[in-house]
Chain A
Amino acid sequence: MKTFRFIALRLAQAIPVLLGVSLITFVLMAATPGDPIRLLVGDRASPETIAMIRDRYGLDDPILFQYFTYLKNLMVGDIGVSLRYRVPVSQLIAQHYPVTLFLVLYTIVLTLPPVIVLAVWSAKRQNGMADQIIRMMGVLGLAVPVFWLALILTRLFGVKLGWFPVSGFGDTMPGHLLHLFLPALSTMIWVVPILVRTLRSALLIEMNRDYALTGMSKGLGARQVFRTHVFPNSILPTLNLFAVIVAYLLGGSVIVETVYAVPGMGKLMIDSILARDYFVVQGATLVFALTTLLVMLAVDLLSALIDPRVTL
């Protein structure tokens, strides 16, 4: 019951946050110079045509008036129509969001096993050969720019070897897995080292705590102490960092999506900003914000599940 109240409360708190996000986005977009209609009708349109269409789309109304109109529509679940495509924003989001979500989840699934294996391995043999190598590889992974790495991966695995597609999303489940493998891999290469570092140092701290020593002296085996006490206690900081990274992956998807021509939210967002497609930017920002809130909520719930000391 307590958990439900917590969830309800957090969701209620999300409303002012989303309102704030929408207001900031709206003001920023309105303050950005550049005319969406010019970009819509192309080079050769006359100023008269442009003025006429601006007026029809209500872009000449005062900003606050526009914002309240937007809010009013939002209340009834209408997030507007794309200025560029004349299709509902919800349709565009429904088309692009699953792609990015799939990519992020795929990245997470690929990331977690190596993170745990490498961090445990590294911590258990602190300063040993394996630890040194793992740490060095980690620095390398962090240092390599994603777009450059992506370029190399596509040329090697896509063009030279022909193992993986270099673009797109695919049409079927296996197709998605295949098409998004390289994008997920390029993201994973910098995410894994970050998480390994945090988890490794948390493990090292917990391993040297008194309770670990107590467990050993009670005659518990080293394995059991590690599995039931040290590991769960170490995982929390990494989990919280992980939540931040997931939020970042959503927003930062634009780089991999550009290099691998993946039609996801990052691409939609950038294209819409460049085209001053106000309502799409607005809608996409809200979806990003909402997803981030949900990820944070999920991580808090998960933390409470793992560590009873964490109260909701």
Chain B
Amino acid sequence: MYNRRIITAAAVLALSGTILMAQETIRIASPYKVTVLDPIVSAGGGNIEAYGLLYSRLMRTDKNGNLVPGLAERYEISEDGLTYTFHLRDAKFSDGTPITADDAAFSLNRAAKDENSAYPAGFAPIAEIAVLDERTLQWTLKHPSAPILANLDIFNAGIVSKDDVEERGEDAFVTNPVSSGPYMVKEWKPNDRLSLTANPNFWREGLPRVENAELIEVSDANARATMLMAGEIEVDRTVPWPQIEEINNTDGVSVKLEPSTVLYLVLPNHTRPPFDNLTVRQAATMALDRAAITKAVTLGHAEVANSTFSNALKFYDPSISMPAYDPAAARKLLEDDDLVGTEITMMITPATEQIATLLKAQWDAVGFKTTVERVDAGLWWSKMANADYDVTSSWYFNETDDPDLAIRWALCGTCGSHSYYTRYNNEEVNELTEEALREGDEEKRAGLYRRIQEITVSEIAQIPLYYTPYANGYSDRVKGLSLTPALQWTLEEAELTDG
């Protein structure tokens, strides 16, 4: 078996020469597409993963999950928590020009205030960014923000070259973007692959260890698994739960379950019947055996959710609980309010087909009449944005372990995305969100976030299902590579061994 592989490898080598290159390349196949290289214009999964390889940020998260200085060597925060001064280290872009405070201010201003910025929420408190000298940068905030330092390591806070972007505009991110991160673009074939090569000017000495990286777009999970097992890629981003065993049983490859802030949930539309009615939401929750759903879908790889917060977020409250599984009581609730036979249209995408089947069976068992409406991702988003649906199922992740942005996305009714487009809008929650952002005392913050969880669970803002890890397949040759909860690859510290 092994010999035959060597012979074939030699034959392939002689024919194509592509294998030679592979020795120093980590190839990552992912279903998530890289569509733009400008860090501020997209919050799409595949893009987020690429941004971290191309752009360094003022702060970074080390491999133990601690926030440490990145391009900013050190920083000072004024006593009132409103002024932040950053001192940049001596670092260069991939084109050899120095990374200055001007570049940093320009990049952060784009993320915070540019009209193209897809995700300015984390930087909303910034009033002004001033450049004190070549290497010193100062922010003033409108009000204190507890997580803002950590937000500097969010995907869209990557530092880009001001001169280059001003000169080339949109094109600066299409051909040969100037990079401040561990890698730079060797070749970008849109809709196929992004080939990267080490940035010789990367500020972290001696890194990255692996010369080249390729992000290859492969939508089919079977194709990715086969490629991993055949040694044509080193990393399979996203292994479906039923495939984990097969990969683990194959020599030389294995699946790592990596912690994430991902929360799978059921999203009810609060603006129209039937889910504008709390009784319906309660019955719909009690009808669900969420433990069984979790086990069936993830084959035991996920944890049943108990809160509207992901269990990986700070201030997550493990003691809180959703109404327990009790189909008889759910039926009774419906009967008492004469709601038996309530029709539900559940909108789903192909990705949630399995969950939808289970939801429908359990809802129908207590007296709902569920119809399934299948849409693709494009239509799904349009319908969500227009609140044109009854109920759907989806998931989300949070960029940091601080709950602020997660709440602004999923539970706050006045924060832009209308509680993940469910239109759940509780004034107390909205106020608590702002209060908790400004609160400097950790213990008090914990109290405020506990209160948010209590309210949103008791009102069943959403029905949380389960917390999943990321399941990624790795070749045993790859050492030190993982995907962080913030969807960033630790590629700069990874190594490729011969074994």
Q: A41-B43, A44-B121 are in contact. Are A35 and B378 (CB under 8 A)?
A: yes
The answer to whether A49 touches B115, judged by C-beta atoms less than 8 angstroms apart, is yes
Q: Which of B16, B29, B42 contacts A261 (CB 8 A)?
A: B29
Q: Within residues 171 to 224 of chain A, which ones have a CB less than 8 A from any CB in chain B?
A: 171-172, 174-175, 178
- Say whether B117 contacts A49, CB under 8 Å: yes
A39 in contact with B16 given A163-B8, A167-B223, A263-B191 (CB within 8 Å): no
- Contact, CB under 8 Å: B376 / A170: no
| Contact residues of A between 42 and 88, Cβ < 8 Å to B | 42-47, 49-50, 52-53, 82, 84-87
Q: Mark B214-241, 1 if CB is under 8 A from A, else 0.
A: 0011111011101101111100000000
Verify if A138 is at the interface (C-beta below 8 Å from B).
no
Bound: A206/B141 CA distance, A: 88
Type the 1/0 row for B362-388, where 1 means its CB is closer than 8 Å to any CB of A: 000000000000001111011101000
* Residues in chain A near residue B273, CB distance under 8 A: none
Is residue B207 within 8 Å, beta carbon to beta carbon, of the partner chain? no
Q: Mark A76-108, 1 if CB is under 8 A from B, else 0.
A: 000000101111000110011000000000000
Is B35's CB under 8 angstroms from A258's CB? Answer: no
Docked complex: A144-174 residues within 8 A CB-CB of B = 151, 154-155, 158-159, 161-163, 165-168, 170-172, 174
Q: Determine the chain B residues whose CB is within 8 A of the CB of A135 once the complex forms.
A: none
* Segment with Cβ contacts to B, from A111-119, A123-131, A266-274: A266-274
Q: By CB atoms of chain B within 10 A, which of A34, A43, A53, A154 has the most?
A: A43
Are B226 and A158 in contact, with the CB atoms below 8 A?
Answer: yes
Q: Please give me the residue from chain A that is nearest to B33 by CB atom.
A: A271
Against A, the Cβ 8 Å flags (1 = close, 0 = not) of B344-377 are 0000000000000000000000000000000011
- Complex Cα distance A198/B496, Å? 54
Q: What residues of B have a CB within 8 angstroms of the CB of A26 in the complex?
A: none
B8-44 CB contact bits vs A (8 Å, 1 = yes)?
A: 1100100111100000000001000101100001111
Asked if B33 and A43 sit within 8 Å, CB to CB, the answer is: no
By a CB distance below 8 angstroms, the chain A residues around B217 are 263
Partner of B17, one of A155, A163, A171: A171
Give the residue of B15, B117, B223, B385 whose beta carbon is less than 8 angstroms from that of A166: B223
Also in contact, A162 and B16, with CB within 8 A (given A33-B379, A35-B378): no
Q: Residue B378 contacts which of A38, A45, A86 (CB distance < 8 angstroms)?
A: A38
Q: Contact check: which of A40, A42, A44, A261 meets B223 at CB < 8 Å?
A: A261
Cβ A85 vs Cβ B36 within 8 A? yes
Alpha-carbon separation in the docked complex, A85 to B191 (Å):
8
Q: A42-B47, A46-B417, A95-B189 are in contact. Are A167 and B42 (CB under 8 A)?
A: no
Main secondary structure of the interface of B (DSSP, over half): mixed
Please measure, in the bound complex, the distance between the C-alpha atom of A78 and the C-alpha atom of B222, giving whole angstroms. 38
Q: Which residue of A lies closest to B218 (CB)?
A: A261
Which residues of chain B have C-beta atoms less than 8 A from A84's C-beta?
Answer: 35-36, 190
Which residues of A sit under 8 angstroms from B119, Cβ to Cβ? 42, 44-45
CA of A269 to CA of B420 in the docked complex: distance in angstroms?
Answer: 30
Residues of chain B with a CB closer than 8 A to A165's CB: 12, 230, 232
Minimum distance in angstroms from B46 CB to a CB of chain A: 10
**Which residue from B45, B118, B229 sits with its C-beta under 8 Å from A49?**
B118
Contact B5 A85 (CB under 8 A): no
Residues on A with beta carbons closer than 8 Å to the beta carbon of B44: 39-43
What are 20 A-B contacts with C-beta separation under 8 Å? A34-B376, A34-B379, A39-B381, A40-B36, A41-B41, A47-B385, A49-B115, A86-B170, A87-B174, A154-B223, A154-B230, A155-B226, A161-B8, A162-B4, A165-B230, A167-B226, A167-B230, A168-B232, A258-B223, A259-B223
